[in-house]
Each structure stands twice: as structure tokens, then as C-alpha cells.
Amino acid sequence: CAGARFADILTQAGISSSNSSSSIPGVLHCFTGNAEELQQVLGLGLHVGITGWVADDRPERGGAELAALLPHIPADRLMIETDAPYLVPRSIQPSKARPNRNEAALLPHVLTAVAAALGQSEEEVAARTAAVARAFFRLPDSIVG
């Protein structure tokens, strides 16, 4: 996982959440790692971005394993994202209806998969992840939500 490499680089640079003078705000974009890598990322105080990867039901792609990790991400550090133009959610059925390029309009498919993995309503997860994004990026309420 590229996220593990990123976390290693930050650790080697002396960045940590336990040392407030060396901590930095950050989002690990498109997390696809395992439980150990997730703990490493969270230990650095990073937010975690989840993409359409979580909606991929092919066993070799790891979507189910990623979904199983979502309850371990603190609610105030979970973000959803598209990774546009890549990772079109495979939950779009039939496959002929699936566009070739990902875009922000497809984010509800990621939301659906994340909400299902967390056992929460889409409305709850949407409100919370929008609030997290607004706070992290210092956006006005009118921008996200």
C-alpha cells in the first residue's frame, strides 16, 4: 500500500501525532491498506480517505477487507472521495451503465458502500463526512453538505 510508504516517510521525517510540534494535518488519499497500515496511519494523526475501492466486490481487489476496516477509523477522521478520474465504483449496475471515468457525481456510490460497512444510514455518514471535510479544509457550510 502506498499509504504505508507515505506513513514511513512521515515517521522518518519525525512527524507524529504524539509530538504536537511536529504533527501536521493530512489525509491519506485512497486508503487500501490492511489493519496494521491503518493503525500506523491513524497513529500519525492522519485522516483517511476511502474511495470506490470499497464498492468493489471482486475478491482479488480487497473491497470486502477494506470495508471491514472502516469501523476502526475514528468518525472524526473518515473522509469519502472519488479518486476521479479513476476507480469508478463497481457497484454501478449493470456494468454497461458504468462510465469510463469517475467524477464527483458518483460519490453517492462510495457513500452507500461506506454506510453499509459501518451499519449506519447514508444520511448519518454523509452528514458526518461532510462535517469532517468542512472542518479539515476550513470550508464554509455552503460548500459541502
Helix (H, G, I), strand (E, B) or coil at 48: strand
pLDDT tens, per residue, the chain with 145 residues: 666 677 777 777 766 655 544 457 889 899 998 999 999 889 888 999 999 889 888 777 778 999 999 999 999 999 999 888 888 887 877 788 888 888 888 999 999 999 999 999 999 999 999 999 999 999 988 876 6
Strand ranges in 23-142 using DSSP code E only, listed in sequence order: 27-28, 47-50, 78-80
Output the pLDDT for position 98: 84
pTM of the shown model = 0.85
